[in-house]
A and B are shown apart, each in its own frame.
Chain A
Amino acid sequence: MKYFRLLRVSLLRKKFRTALTIGSFAVAMFLFGLLITIRISFNQGVEVAGADRLIVMNRITFIQPLPAAYEGRLATMPGIKQVTHATWFGGIYQEEKNFFPQFAIEPESWRLMYPEFVVPDDQWKTFMNDREGAIVGEGTAKRFKWKIGDRVPIKGAIYTGNWQFNIDGIYTGAQRATDTSQFWFHYDHLNESPSMFYKNTVGWYVVRLNNPDDATQVVKKIDDTFSNSSYETKSATELAFAAGFAKQTGNIAVLLISIGAIVFFTLLLVTGNTMAIAVRERTPELAILKALGYSNQFILVYVLAESLSIAMLGAILGLGAAKIITLFGNPMPGTLPVFYLPLSQAGLGIVSAAVIGTLAGLLPAINASRLRVVDALRKV
């Protein structure tokens, strides 16, 4: 601690320059925080995907249906513990920009299949007894200020007509990354509607395995069973399905990593240059410290600590600002199902900043530690 004063006065010596360098770090780390938040949002399905769940969809495309009769056949296959299904509704609430995913589901098996969606029992009971009932995620409920008991009109886009639903329940996520933007209603309500042009079909099946290690065999078994039929299937683990779905919008992760890498590299150059100038300006002072008995190692650590302090202060400011932004809510709930910056990822940002700060200060620190006192004093 007795050396802390030396570090403090070094940082405060050129206040404006230090502030600008810290500011560079803060802006970069703020951007990093937002990029991470967006990446998490795009990958949220991947992150919460059940290891023991498979998705079974039409082999042609995701939007082609499968017969409802497959449910029974799937349920009796070896290795499969449980089956449920869902159908994409694709309705519009007031305006097209108010997008949120709506599924017609088979309620009982759905709830068993997805324990990460938490619905209070009394609300679920009301939903089960209400043919026009719906359960909505708390994210969408907050977005449209819906509350239990509200009657919500949704205009059918695929299944035409003006649909009315009663909000019987609001689900929350068991995990922070759980998507709370979904809207569920009874499959029977959809199937019995005149708008249902493919009666007794569903969008896709979700099956739970007895043993996740059997996924490969069960996937093959399912697809083989329905091959050469009118509705061939394509099965995949939920993880692979979610990853593939996320990639439909392009390889977001690579794009974000590329942007982040460029920003970090620029930051490395900016900070490295700043530290090199700072050390060069203080060459006589560093020489005096060495003359007084401060070791080469001390000088190395001293310069590195300065660089690291700048990086840490910038990272804390930038990531703190990014965290605060995410606390204000999701600015694009239709596009980003979740919007939050986990502390683990903020920690990753801090570590990244520490690495950059260290690298940026390394060369000037080594040069400073190798400084020959007699040469440096001759330059005074």
Chain B
Amino acid sequence: MVRVDGSGSSNSLISVRNLGKNYRRGSEEIHVLQGLNLDVDAGDFVAFMGPSGSGKTTLLNLMGGLDVPSQGSIRVAGDEITHMSAGKLTAWRARHVGFVFQMFNLIPVLTAFQNVELPLLLTSLNKSERRQHVESALALVGLADRMKHFPRQLSGGQEQRVAIARAIVTDPTFLLCDEPTGDLDRHSADEVLELVQRLATDHKKTVLLVTHDPLAAERAHSILHLDKGVLAEAQTSGSRA
């Protein structure tokens, strides 16, 4: 269950309190996020919508430990990440977060298998264990037969599915998907969204999705609107069901 009023229980997987993020452009202070509260339970599939520049990606980056807030706190699975050192935050990301980006961001000189294996190199798994994990992840996204293909040999939709496999291969605490279908045609986008939805419903993955696409957001359990740095609950799975 998702709440934006700061009334979430201590059992929330992600708990954001009074979050603010400011940028300085010359002498001007820009408040991207202000006093934002959010609670996300394990297994939730939340879509964030809003106009460009509303702070969706900034919020995602803050929750993913890629950026640090100007104020407020973020707790994920009991870990307060806002005061972590850069080194600890990096290690925390490796353990807890799976990222899916709009541009796929695969390493072009590595095969699909090698791209998916990248996060596992940071673990203590041996070679054969890594192979098993990578094969399972690629099978889950339907690309078991494309393991030896380089990104340039794959379609956009397939590239994004490889990126999803890379995001889930370490079995992270939650997935952050930033416009995962923004660079795909409708058919490929549907395939990717179907996959993300399946991860949330069948595999009980917590998924936070930023999108401009209402059809993509429709697949989430909850849709939140972000505008001028303020978060508002638009719809829940209960109301859509």
Query: Which residues of chain A have a CB within 8 Å of any CB of chain B?
Result: 2-3, 5, 9-10, 12-13, 284-285, 287-297, 372-374, 377, 380
Extra contacts, 6 of them, besides A290-B90, A377-B101 (Cβ < 8 A), are A13-B109, A285-B107, A293-B91, A293-B119, A373-B67, A374-B61
Determine whether B22 belongs to the interface, using a CB cutoff of 8 Å to chain A.
no
Pair B109/A12 contact, Cβ less than 8 Å: yes
Q: Which residues of A contact B87 (CB under 8 A)?
A: 295-297
Tell me whether B91 and A2 are in contact (CB under 8 A). no
B118: nearest chain-A partner, CB-CB: A292
The answer to whether B103 and A295 have CB atoms under 8 Å apart is no
B94 interface neighbour in A12, A287, A293, A297, Cβ under 8 Å: A293
Q: Min CB distance, B166 to chain A, in Å?
A: 8
Query: Within 8 Å CB of A295, what residues of B?
Result: 87, 90-91
Q: Is B90 a contact partner of A294 (Cβ separation < 8 A)?
A: yes
B41-75 interface bits toward A, Cβ cutoff 8 Å, 1 = contact, 0 = none: 00000000000000000000100101100000000
The answer to whether B110 touches A9 (Cβ under 8 A) is yes
Asked if B122 CB lies within 8 Å of chain A CBs, one says: yes
Q: Is the CB of B94 within 8 A of A292?
A: yes
Residues of the A chain whose Cβ atoms lie less than 8 Å from the Cβ of B110: 5, 9
Cβ contact within 8 Å between A292 and B119: yes
Q: Is the interface of A mostly helix, strand, loop or mixed?
A: helix
C-beta contact mask, B81-113 vs A, less than 8 Å → 1, else 0? Answer: 000001100110111000101010101011000
27 A-B pairs in the complex with CB atoms less than 8 angstroms apart: A2-B127, A3-B121, A5-B110, A9-B107, A9-B110, A284-B103, A285-B107, A287-B105, A288-B101, A288-B107, A290-B90, A291-B64, A292-B93, A292-B94, A292-B118, A292-B119, A293-B90, A294-B90, A295-B90, A296-B86, A296-B90, A373-B61, A373-B66, A374-B67, A377-B101, A377-B105, A380-B105
Of all chain A residues, the one with the shortest Cβ separation from B106 is: A288
Within 8 Å of chain A (Cβ to Cβ): is B12?
no
> Does B114 sit within 8 A of A, measured CB to CB?
yes
In the A-B complex, the 3 residue pairs with the closest CB atoms: A293-B94, A9-B109, A288-B105
Please determine whether A374 and B66 come into contact, CB atoms closer than 8 angstroms: yes
Residues of B within 8 A of A (CB): 61, 64, 66-67, 86-87, 90-91, 93-95, 99, 101, 103, 105, 107, 109-110, 114, 118-119, 121-122, 127, 166
The residue on B at minimum CB distance from A9 is B109
Q: How far is the CB of B170 from chain A (nearest CB, A)?
A: 8
Contacts of B101 in A (CB 8 A): 288, 377, 380
Number of A-B contacts (CB under 8 A): 61
A3 to chain B, nearest CB (A): 6
Whole-angstrom distance between the alpha carbons of A3 and B66 in the complex? 23
Which chain B residue lies CB-closest to A380?
B103
Across the interface, do B109 and A289 meet the contact criterion of CB distance under 8 Å?
no
Contacts of A287 in B (CB 8 A): 105
When the two chains form the complex, which single residue of A284, A294, A297, A374 contacts B105, counting CB atoms closer than 8 Å? A284
Assembly CA distance A39 to B239 (angstroms): 87
| Contact between chains at A293 and B93 (CB < 8 Å) | yes
Most buried by A among B61, B67, B105: B105
Tell me the complex Cα distance, A3–B130, Å.
Answer: 13
Task: Report whether A291 and B66 are in contact in the complex, using a CB–CB cutoff of 8 Å.
Answer: yes
Asked, given contacts A374-B66, A374-B67, whether A294 binds B107 with beta carbons under 8 Å apart, the answer is no
Closest to A8 in B: B109
Residues of A within 8 A of B119 (CB): 292-293
A residues in contact with B90, CB < 8 Å: 290, 293-296
A169 to chain B, nearest CB (A): 64
Closest Cβ of chain A to B210, distance in Å, is 13
Closest beta carbon of chain B to A296's beta carbon, Å: 7
Inter-chain contacts of A2 with B (CB < 8 A) = 121, 127
Closest chain A residue to B107 by CB distance?
A: A285
The smallest C-beta distance from A302 to any residue of chain B, in angstroms, reads 12
Instruction: Report A268 CB to chain B, min CB distance, Å.
Output: 27
Given the complex of chains A and B, what is the CA–CA distance between A357 and B127 in angstroms?
Answer: 31
Cβ–Cβ contact A5 & B105, under 8 A: no
User: Complex Cα distance A205/B125, Å?
Assistant: 75
Q: Is the CB of A293 within 8 A of B107?
A: no
Collect the chain B residues with CB atoms within 8 Å of residue A284's CB. Answer: 103, 105
| CB nearest to A284 among chain B residues | B105
